[in-house]
Amino acid sequence: MKILVVSDAWVPQVNGVVRTLQATLREVTRMGHDMRIIGPTSSGFFSFPMPFYAEIMLEFFAHNRLAKILRDFSPDAVHIATEGPLGWAARRVCLREGRNFTTAYHTGFPDYLAKRFPSILAPLIVKEAYAVLQRFHAPSSAVMVATSSVERELKVHHFRNLVRWTRGVDTDLFKPYGKNFTTFEGLPRPILLNVGRVSVEKNLCAFLNLKTTGSKVVIGDGPDLSMLRQLYPNAHFLGAMEGEALAQHYAAADLFVFPSITDTFGLVLLEACAAGLRVAAYPAAGPADIFADESCKAFAVLDVDLQRAVDLALSLPDNPETSRAFAERFSWQASAAQFVQHASAKGTKTT
């Protein structure tokens, strides 16, 4: 089967959507399918970096380019991964040509946008954002969501054709390498780690304001990196990282702290568990879904008070095998199989 994926988020960006698509591409290809991912081009006349977030390239008016790709590749299935300008262009082309397509809800944009406006405007922003997103996904034959919490939330806002698409973790890469790691030499322990985009929606100040002994380490890049480095000179900001270097940093830490309350899943939570870490987080969508199993109480603490979650998590036995065993339940192979199943379902022909 030939599958075309259109995504505003694609390399060289580094985020959960890109990493999910990369893993899916790898596994779907291993299954024998021909999958291609089309991201924004930086050479187009209407392509430019996103204001205040230069790492993200935006491409507008891509209809002709996408229509040509669709004609040349002639895919059996089309999946639109994001609701950005490239995603809207792909949606328009598919509707115009009567092509079936699926979509995915990766990012909680309503909450993301609300954090960028005065609080008095937040309810209106959230309401309007959901209305726009519901319109975007309405013609989709299957709207893929990662967790039950996200599914329930979208149903409240009248989304239809919701199906579950779980996530995975590379347990060959992310594993307990040991604590003896040169980068962390001399840092007081415990080492509290956060990995992800350094931007306002990740709620990093909740992590950086924690009153705790030891060291706080942030791995990732984003528009707030320079500002947070100035505001929190005692924290250690290591920038973007990937591959084995990232995996070793995970394993060498003592606790993974996840302060975000807007993520729809949180791949980094599984990576931290695969590396053998304990976890502290808010009981928001993502962490609450991932750690719903009673057995997770042995290594993960969710609390509306992040300080209390961290203190309790640090008091748990540091047993890497426990969280590692939990992470091994999640495979990219199973995730890719779900994706192919949903993408190949014909659903209702669009008109």
The pLDDT tens digits for 297-308 are: 999 999 999 999
d(CA 187, CA 238): 13
Strands, E, within the chain: which ranges?
A: 2-6, 34-38, 47-50, 53-59, 77-80, 102-104, 143-145, 162-164, 191-195, 215-219, 236-237, 255-258, 278-281, 300-302
pLDDT, residue 349, reads 40
| Residues facing 115 on adjacent strands | none
Domains in the chain (CATH in brackets) are 2-168+332-344 (3.40.50.2000), 182-327 (3.40.50.2000)
Q: What percent of the chain has pLDDT over 70?
A: 95
Share of the chain above pLDDT 90, in %: 81
Mean pLDDT of the chain: 92
CB 160 within 8 A of CB 138: yes
pLDDT of residue 347 exceeding 60: no
**Alpha helices, H only, 60-202:** 63-73, 85-97, 109-114, 122-137, 148-156
Backbone phi and psi for residue 93, each to the nearest 5 degrees, phi listed first: -65, -45
pLDDT reading at 289 higher than 70: yes
Coil, helix or strand at residue 323 = helix
**60-96 confidence digits (pLDDT tens):** 999 999 999 999 999 999 999 999 999 999 999 999 9
Q: Summarize pLDDT for 160-182 with one digit per residue, the tens.
A: 999 999 999 999 999 999 888 88
31-45 pLDDT, tens digit per residue, is: 999 999 999 997 777
Best CA proximity match to 206, nearest among 307, 324, 91, 117: 307
Give the residue among 301, 295, 302 at the shortest CA–CA distance from 328.
Answer: 295
CA distance 94 to 54: 29
Bigger pLDDT: 281 vs 345:
281
Q: How far is CA 186 from CA 182, 191, 192, 250, 351, in A?
A: 9, 11, 14, 17, 63
d(Cα 104, Cα 120) in Å, to the nearest integer? Answer: 30
Distance (Å, whole) CA 288 – CA 310: 16
- Predicted TM-score of the model (pTM): 0.88
